[in-house]
Structure 1
Amino acid sequence: MRLVSSAENSSLDWKAQYGYIEDIDDDRGYTAGIIGFCSGTGDMLKLVQLYTRREPHNVLAKYLPALRKVNGTDSHKGLGRRFVRDWKKAAKDPAFQRAQNDERDRVYFDPAVKQAEKDGLRALGQFVYYDAMVMHGPGGDRLSFGGIRKSALAKAKPPARGGDEAAYLNAFLDARKKAMKAEEAHEDTSRVDTMQRVFLRNRNLDLKPPLTWKVYGDKYTIKK
């Protein structure tokens, strides 16, 4: 989470990101929370639905009709400044924080780690998959996680199929960069170039600290 937060929020303090919300001009509407739930891609809607099932009278429940309408678009209709204000207010609620954690795990973290384990990848590979899942989504098209993995498999075998782990991860990162460059909002590939490839070049396949890297020019260190 600290590694991803350095790229997503320019901070290692991922727990401070529950209230993060802005439109980053990537045609996905609002991006918010600990892994960037988006109003235009459906995962923000599912998050607020989960929160509302658990806490029916929460401050975000009234926005569910608007979130349904803007799903699939970059529209702010029915949301706007009041929604931004109420998101930040909800972020102080432990129930909303738990909902964010649970949706992160269900949609992104658990599927990424499970697939990485099936492919025979250690901690670095699991992180590489998770970071790709967060940015590109779990779909199967060429710009989503499934498509990126498919492109990598066409170039190299993962360890579970008898391949070299580092060679496969390099192929995956090559495919990831192509997907990033295909979208203007993601064309800065430093989270691959100056973070993930650094760990890979150092053969730190178990992600053992200390870890030092840069993202978007900023330097970070995790000592333990």
Structure 2
Amino acid sequence: MAAALLGSALLAVPVAAHATAPAPAPTGSAVAAAAAVGLDDPAKKEIAMQIVSSAENSSLDWKAQYKYIEDIDDGRGYTAGIIGFCSGTGDMLDLVEYYTQVKPGNVLAKYLPALRKVDGTDSHAGLDPNFTKDWAKAAQDADFKKAQDRERDRVYFNPAVQQGKSDGIGVLGQFIYYDAIVMHGDGSDSTSFRNIRKKALAKAKTPAQGGSETAYLNAFLDARVWAMKQEEAHSDTSRVDTAQRVFVKKGNLNLNTPLDWKVYGDSFHIG
């Protein structure tokens, strides 16, 4: 379910992150904790991948999703891989181009002309009938898995974490940003990540600006729900309502386990 049209990633200048540095008032220890441990901590990143997979694939086994591909009728063509790269939004094209740089002549390289033509549409022209089979075949290649990991980090994960750290929000907040970028992208349209964040900033200050982290995260989630409801394919807001809001209400700003949540009515647990 990735992204509307992707623009350059929104990045504020990161705040220097040192556990021993003076914490910005008035959020003190919370911001210091965010500086000390971020979503880019390997254990936290694993949790993030599992939670996103619960929403994108109804499974915690995110590593089983490299081979995933289908058209989910959301106007973005084929959705595939560990983060929902889409043939209609440019990120699948970027992925296959990079994979072909690393491994020329790979099984997906022949689809590059078609991927360039269908970018921005939901068309399968030039992809059917064998693209899905070849995607699954490519997913057996360690280099293709590494390429998916790289593009996930470059386009979605790293920008979310950097912006979150700059805003002074902790692991949960950085995850909330990440999940928003995964679904909405960071383009110029009104429902993109940067404009969801802008809408939230009109209602609450970030911790880096001296605001309450919980109040800001609630404002961001309110804006996120609004954005989701603008599009029929995303109108089920349970990945916010019965997942992210649950963690905020419990004050689990560091996304510590155990975690229990629901998405689309299914229950999930990380011990």
TM-score category of the 2 structures, normalised to the smaller one: over 0.9
In the TM superposition, 1:53-92 aligns within 5 A as: 53-92=101-140
1:102 and 2:157 matched: no
Letter in 1 for 2:71: D
**Correspondence for 1:115 among 151, 158, 163:** 163
TM superposition shift of 1:123: 0.5
**Correspondence for 1:49 among 84, 97, 110:** 97
1:35 and 2:88 matched: no
Residue 210 of structure 1 corresponds to 258
In structure 1, list runs of 5 or more residues that go unmatched.
Answer: none
TM superposition shift of 1:141: 2.2
TM-score (norm 2): 0.82
TM superposition shift of 1:139: 1.6
Residue 22 of structure 1 corresponds to 70
Q: State the distance in 2 between where 1:184 and 1:109 align.
A: 25
Q: State the distance in 2 between where 1:168 and 1:140 align.
A: 22
TM superposition shift of 1:74: 0.4
Q: State the distance in 1 between where 2:221 and 2:157 align.
A: 18
Letter in 1 for 2:236: D
**Secondary structure of 2:140's aligned partner:** coil
Q: State the distance in 2 between where 1:141 and 1:150 align.
A: 12
1:220 and 2:271 matched: no
TM-score (norm 1): 0.99
1:177 and 2:225 matched: yes
**Correspondence for 1:164 among 182, 187, 212:** 212
In structure 2, list runs of 5 or more residues that go unmatched.
Answer: 1-48
Deviation by residue 1:90-121 (Cα, 9 ceiling, x = unmatched): 00100000000000000000000000000000
Identity over aligned pairs, percent: 71
Deviation by residue 1:105-159 (Cα, 9 ceiling, x = unmatched): 0000000000000000000001000000000002232111011000000010010
TM superposition shift of 1:80: 1.7
Residue 61 of structure 2 corresponds to 13
Letter in 1 for 2:197: R
After the TM superposition, which parts of structure 1 deviate over 2 Å for at least 4 consecutive aligned residues? none
- RMSD of Structure 2 on Structure 1 (CA): 0.5
Q: State the distance in 2 between where 1:139 and 1:121 align.
A: 22
TM superposition shift of 1:81: 2.8
Letter in 2 for 1:215: V
Residue 151 of structure 1 corresponds to 199
Letter in 2 for 1:127: F
Letter in 1 for 2:228: M
Q: State the distance in 2 between where 1:194 and 1:140 align.
A: 28
Bigger relative contact order (CA 8 A; separation at least 6):
2
Letter in 2 for 1:5: S
